[in-house]
Structure 1
Amino acid sequence: MELTQEELERYNRNIVLAGIGQAGQLKLKKARVFVVGAGGLGSPILYYLTAAGVGNIGICDGDVVDTSNLQRQILHNTQDINKNKAKSAYEKLYALNPTLNLQRIEERLNTQNILTYIKNYDIIVEATDVFSAKFLINDACVLANKILVRASALAFSGQAMSIKPKTSACYACLFNEPPKITMPTGATAGILGAVAGLFGCIEANEVIKIITGVGEPLFDRLLTCDVRSMDFRTIAIKRNPTCRVCGENGITSLDATLYQ
């Protein structure tokens, strides 16, 4: 597989970067990335991975565009209201870069379909705002041995980490299971649109680093930021040997009751 003349021109600013070059751009072209969520986090993730030339991108979202989404979900516009988000995202991304293999899944993930959908991808990107979905995706990635890039954003702050199953700390190493109490959401606590954009960009950057081998991904590190002070912190974390998911006696299947 080689880069075409059009690709050499389109991705020139990637190619001239030290550490990427044509070899790194070819890695991006061959990569397979599955993004769960085409909302506030997913919009910048999908835009930048598409612009960067990631050759195979899965877009998964079972929700529809709502007026309140438009404050931060920049893949969508007023004309997309009531349209499925994966379909709306696909249309914008295809217009940006029609040379890529884009696939859309217009449904929510669950214990019955997630392993089938992620099996042909190298990297899974979690861009959801529901705790049960975050745990489902983490647990499935551990079972399927898929690298996971994940983030959360709420109000004025966010966090991000990357996970290499059975090697680095997984999401369940930090938080054992979904909270049993009602937690604040964007609808109840609000979210600054640019915060979702910031952490979506961080996730896209993580994916590109992992694919090309440039830099140090956030394995065993949790990155946090409050934009009111722009205080970025990187917290060292460790894999829990007794983690219920990735530990020595971790899960061997997905228990649907945990993700409800």
Structure 2
Amino acid sequence: MDTYFSSTELAYYARQMNLSEIGMTGQYKLKQARVGCVGAGGLGSAVMMYLAAAGVGTIGIIDDDCVDISNLHRQLLYTYADSGCKKTLVAKARLQQLNPAIEIITHDVRLNTANALAILNQYDLIVDGSDNFTTRYVVNDACFSLNKAHIYASISQFAGQCATFVPKKGPCFRCLFAIPPPIDLIPNCAQGGVIGALPGILGTLQAMEVIKLILSIGQPLIGRLLLFDGLSLQFRELTISPNPECKVCRYEQLFSDLSYADKPVCAVDSPEISVYELQRLKQENIDFLLLDVREPMEYEIGNLQGGQLIPLNHLPHRLAELDRKKFTIVYCQSGQRSKRAVELLIQHDFVNVRSLQGGMKAWIEQIDPLMEKY
């Protein structure tokens, strides 16, 4: 098998080939692997550099953007001289300088429903380093259709999260985030900001997940969401379960609900569910907990029958009343308090919770206009 490597390659990979989990056989698996990277920004830069250095034989770069000076503090593949140049072309040149023994394929396009299946089918597994919700859903749905694993990460300011999704072996991205939060509530990187080291940390974690999957070693983040807080330098892990009503996993409705705006964002995703999905769950008698976090007076005016009332300011002291493993949908008047409640529940290891997008207001407007408004 050593005939597959030049003497230069053997010297290049010597330190990692000394690992019992890798050796010559593992290095050969890496050389044979084909990994597609969606996005060549902050996450993609870190992922691709480490995959190239590890000896992944073929790396595909999918991005239609150009280098901007504002990218440089966090996208270390690029320099001042690259400003205005296509990221795919610059990244290819830099990665081949880093490791001339690997192949780099460029796709100077924006991944969408028309091209995703054809592009992603060229690779064994996919890394999602995209910066908008539309692309994240396209990646998820295409990977499910093609039966390919994909490694997701997102970043915001000083925080990030990472997970690995493998079809039929755990939840998918849509199980965790059925629909995106309202676009006007999501800051982009220019508005919300991001510390430069953060995508390096999360991108490196994605690269580690890729290597583990290729080599079939360790325990990938399947069914687990890894949360990172850069200010406290703490990692937390949440167990995540398949959504029994997932449009992709359950109903195989690919590329649905992609009509929302897809401007670049710089936000860690928050799990939500639409009023239409809630209506379907109620009609089909799916077992879940409906948690109302409004005040008692609001509850008396009108509520979604069958729920449990725990006002938001009481919730931290009444968590013991709730089943951490039960599929839980939280609602309020507009969706703001319920989002805060979901964040609190996630922090306390509730594994499958959703906020009702738009709250009672959306339910009345879109489902039951005869209910009393206030």
- Asked whether the 8 Å contact 1:71–1:193 carries over to 2, the reply is yes
* CA deviation map 1:155-214 (0-9, x unaligned): 000000001012211111111023333212211110001011100000001000111122
* CA deviation map 1:2-41 (0-9, x unaligned): 3332221110111001211111101100001000111100
- Asked whether the 8 Å contact 1:135–1:259 carries over to 2, the reply is no
Which structure has the higher relative contact order (CA within 8 Å, separation 6+)? Answer: 1
DSSP-derived class of the 1:41 partner: helix
DSSP-derived class of the 2:72 partner: helix
TM-score, normalisation: structure 2: 0.67
TM-score, normalisation: structure 1: 0.95
**Structure 2 residue 226 is matched with structure 1 residue 223:** yes
Residues of 1 paired with 2:52 and 2:227: CA distance? 25
Q: 1:237 aligns with which of 237, 240, 251?
A: 240
Residues of 2 paired with 1:93 and 1:47: CA distance? 6
Could you say which residue in structure 2 is the equivalent of 1:46? 48
**Structure 2 residue 255 is matched with structure 1 residue 254:** yes
Matches within 5 A, 1:71-220: 71-182=73-184, 183-220=186-223
- Asked whether the 8 Å contact 2:61–2:104 carries over to 1, the reply is yes
Deviation of 1:107 after TM superposition, in Å, equals 1.2
Q: Which runs of 5+ in 2 are unaligned?
A: 262-374
Q: Which runs of 4+ in 1 moved over 3 A?
A: 255-260
Deviation of 1:234 after TM superposition, in Å, equals 1.0
Q: Which runs of 5+ in 1 are unaligned?
A: none
Instruction: Answer with 62-71 or 173-182: which moved more.
Output: 173-182
- Partner letter of residue 147 of structure 1? A
- Asked whether the 8 Å contact 2:227–2:237 carries over to 1, the reply is yes
Residues 35, 218 of structure 1: alpha-carbon distance in 2 compared, 3 angstrom cutoff:
same
- Partner letter of residue 114 of structure 1? A
- Asked whether the 8 Å contact 1:111–1:255 carries over to 2, the reply is no
Percent identity for Structure 1 against Structure 2: 44
Residues of 2 paired with 1:201 and 1:93: CA distance? 15
Deviation of 1:150 after TM superposition, in Å, equals 0.8
Asked which structure has the greater CA Rg, the reply is 2
- Partner letter of residue 16 of structure 2? N
**Number of residues of Structure 1 aligned to a counterpart in Structure 2:** 258
Instruction: Answer with 45-54 or 128-137: which moved more.
Output: 128-137
Residues of 2 paired with 1:29 and 1:259: CA distance? 39
- Partner letter of residue 254 of structure 1? F
- Asked whether the 8 Å contact 1:155–1:190 carries over to 2, the reply is yes
Residues 176, 139 of structure 1: alpha-carbon distance in 2 compared, 3 angstrom cutoff:
same
DSSP-derived class of the 1:68 partner: helix
Residues 259, 90 of structure 1: alpha-carbon distance in 2 compared, 3 angstrom cutoff:
farther
Deviation of 1:256 after TM superposition, in Å, equals 7.5
Residues of 1 paired with 2:47 and 2:260: CA distance? 24
DSSP-derived class of the 1:59 partner: strand
Deviation of 1:258 after TM superposition, in Å, equals 3.9
> RMSD of the alignment, in Å?
1.3
Instruction: Answer with 3-12 or 26-35: which moved more.
Output: 3-12
- Partner letter of residue 40 of structure 2? A
Could you say which residue in structure 2 is the equivalent of 1:56? 58
Deviation of 1:134 after TM superposition, in Å, equals 1.0
DSSP-derived class of the 1:211 partner: helix
* CA deviation map 1:48-82 (0-9, x unaligned): 00000000110111011111001100000001101
- Asked whether the 8 Å contact 1:31–1:55 carries over to 2, the reply is yes
Residues of 2 paired with 1:66 and 1:39: CA distance? 10
Q: 1:30 aligns with which of 7, 29, 32?
A: 32
- Partner letter of residue 246 of structure 1? C
Deviation of 1:140 after TM superposition, in Å, equals 1.1
- Asked whether the 8 Å contact 1:65–1:80 carries over to 2, the reply is yes
